[in-house]
Amino acid sequence: MNILSVNAGSSSLKFTLIELPSRNVLASGLFEKIGMTDSMYTIKFNGEKITKTTNLYDHSVAVSKLIEELLENNIVDSLEEIEGVGHRILHGGSEFTKSLILNEDILQRISKYNELGPLHNPANIMGVKAFMKVLPNVLNVGVFDTTFHQTMAEEEYLYPVPYEWYTKYGIRKYGFHGTSHRFIYKTISEYFKRDDLKVISCHIGNGGSLCAINGGKVVDTTMGFTPLAGIMMGTRSGDIDPSIIPFVMKKTGKTAEEIVNDLNKKSGLLGISGISSDSRDVENASKEGNERAILAQNMYAQKIANFIAMYNNLLDGADVITLTAGVGENSSVMRKLICERIKSLGVLIDEERNNCRGEFKLISSDNSKIPVYVVPTNEELMIALDTMELIS
Ligand code: ADP
């Protein structure tokens, strides 16, 4: 069975065509600048790569072009070979607790959460509508970033603020990266052949979040009402004292939205190092002795370590710690800095094992009290697996 896994942005559309159950990637690619005159797309398949510049008026035109290319390049022989399309959808509020088959009515219900994910949700919905139009006979499945976290207890997802903010406006922790954390839990629990594992899953990419999972149920996660909360990230601040916002507004004359934009886009590794949001650049600068880069790296590792220690307490002792995403999978330097800061939990890193990139691997020593694994994430595959299950 071939499934298209799709992530639609406001002017982009990322796709992976996956054959299941073999998990073979038949093609992947990205359509960019949709709606602009210089739109372009790249498709990779069979060791080949095609890049074209064309005018993609809207997402439906991009989807039509995608189908045309899949057929022309014999990636599929007919449209019938695409049996389902799985869509990444950012926000399903508290209403959607599972992935599900989409229809007009459900899309309408999802759009209620557009104000909670204004940059992503309308675009995600637009992507679904484009596929409904171009491939009317193919089922579409919605896979939400928020659903995995819906098992959190009230005492974890509520903020200690006036209760009416929750009942009237839906102010609560929703959590994000749920598809990645769910994939990591699935991978590690299959590896250990256990369904009662207590896992601290650390998704550390440009965005980043940690998730405490007990037997497949999320106990807590670091992102909150929005993805701005939790650990320090590439460009996001993570948790800060909210009183900073009105104070800086007065000092700079900026609006609240502008300050929140600074917290989302000009903070984190970038804000502290003044160099880059990319941990590779920060690592290189810190090797050369750049003090702010060193400071940024240390702060980044410490915030993550602090949450790991907190989640170990929340889980009453974790069975395993996993690291994933761009930094977690690739940066041996950052992994070492994090593990060195959780020695009090009995975690011991094995430097030789830690010298790895992008592979499933144990990186802690045999006498580490909690084993630490690098587990590559694969959100596209998780979306495809959900889609297969629902349409079968
Ligand atoms: P996103 O949140 O955008 O999906 P990714 O998970 O792709 O982010 O992570 C991107 C980040 O991964 C980059 O910003 C970079 O900091 C980091 N990264 C990728 N490769 C390496 C590497 N070899 N060493 C250190 N950091 C890396």
Tell whether 35 is covered by a domain: yes
pTM of the predicted model, to two decimals?
0.96
- The verdict on 205 and 138 lying in the same domain is no
- The verdict on 134 and 257 lying in the same domain is no
Q: 3-state DSSP call for residue 371?
A: coil
Positive or negative CA dihedral for 154, 159, 165, 170? Answer: negative
- The verdict on 111 and 203 lying in the same domain is no
CB 4 within 8 A of CB 62: no
> Is the distance from the beta carbon of residue 206 to the nearest atom of ligand 1 less than 6 Å?
yes
Tell whether 175 is covered by a domain: no
Domain end call among 103, 120, 144: 144
Per the structure, the count of domains in the chain is: 2
> Is the distance from the beta carbon of residue 326 to the nearest atom of ligand 1 less than 6 Å?
yes
Tell whether 317 is covered by a domain: yes
Tell whether 181 is covered by a domain: no
- The verdict on 80 and 215 lying in the same domain is no
**Cα(76)–Cα(271) distance, rounded to whole angstroms?**
46
- The verdict on 118 and 211 lying in the same domain is no
**Cα(172)–Cα(381) distance, rounded to whole angstroms?**
29
Residue nearest ligand 1's atom 24 by CA: 331
Cα(242) to centroid(ligand 1), Å: 28
- The verdict on 368 and 277 lying in the same domain is yes
- The verdict on 97 and 203 lying in the same domain is no
**Cα(50)–Cα(308) distance, rounded to whole angstroms?**
43
Tell whether 32 is covered by a domain: yes
**Cα(74)–Cα(322) distance, rounded to whole angstroms?**
39
Tell whether 183 is covered by a domain: no
Positive or negative CA dihedral for 283, 285, 289, 290? Answer: negative
Cβ-in-10-Å burial (0-12, 13-18, 19+) of 342 comes to buried
Q: Catalytic residue numbers? A: 145
Domain end call among 112, 128, 144: 144
CB 220 within 8 A of CB 314: yes
Task: Collect all residues with Cβ–Cβ distance below 8 Å to 346 and sequence separation of at least 6.
Answer: 368, 369, 370
Tell whether 43 is covered by a domain: yes
Domain end call among 126, 144, 162: 144
> Is the distance from the beta carbon of residue 280 to the nearest atom of ligand 1 less than 6 Å?
yes
Torsions phi, psi of 199, nearest 5? -120, 135
- The verdict on 137 and 200 lying in the same domain is no
Task: Quote the pLDDT of residue 119.
Answer: 85
For the chain (392 residues), the mean pLDDT of every run of 10, in chain order, is 96 97 97 94 96 94 96 95 97 95 97 90 95 96 97 97 97 97 98 98 97 98 96 97 98 97 96 97 97 98 98 98 98 98 98 97 98 98 98 94
- The verdict on 66 and 203 lying in the same domain is no
Give pLDDT tens digits for 174-214. Answer: 999 999 999 999 999 999 999 999 999 999 999 999 999 99
Task: Quote the pLDDT of residue 118.
Answer: 85
Cα(325) to centroid(ligand 1), Å: 7
Q: What is the CATH number of the domain that holds 271?
A: 3.30.420.40
Tell whether 8 is covered by a domain: yes
- The verdict on 333 and 243 lying in the same domain is yes
Tokens matching residue 283: 């690592």
Residue nearest ligand 1's atom 19 by CA: 326
Which ligand 1 atom is at minimum distance from the Cα of 207?
Answer: 2
Task: Quote the pLDDT of residue 117.
Answer: 87
- The verdict on 355 and 233 lying in the same domain is yes
Give pLDDT tens digits for 349-377. Answer: 999 999 999 999 999 999 999 999 999 99
Q: 3-state DSSP call for residue 18?
A: strand
- The verdict on 197 and 335 lying in the same domain is yes
**What residue numbers bound the domain in which 88 lies?**
2-144
**Cα(188)–Cα(141) distance, rounded to whole angstroms?**
25
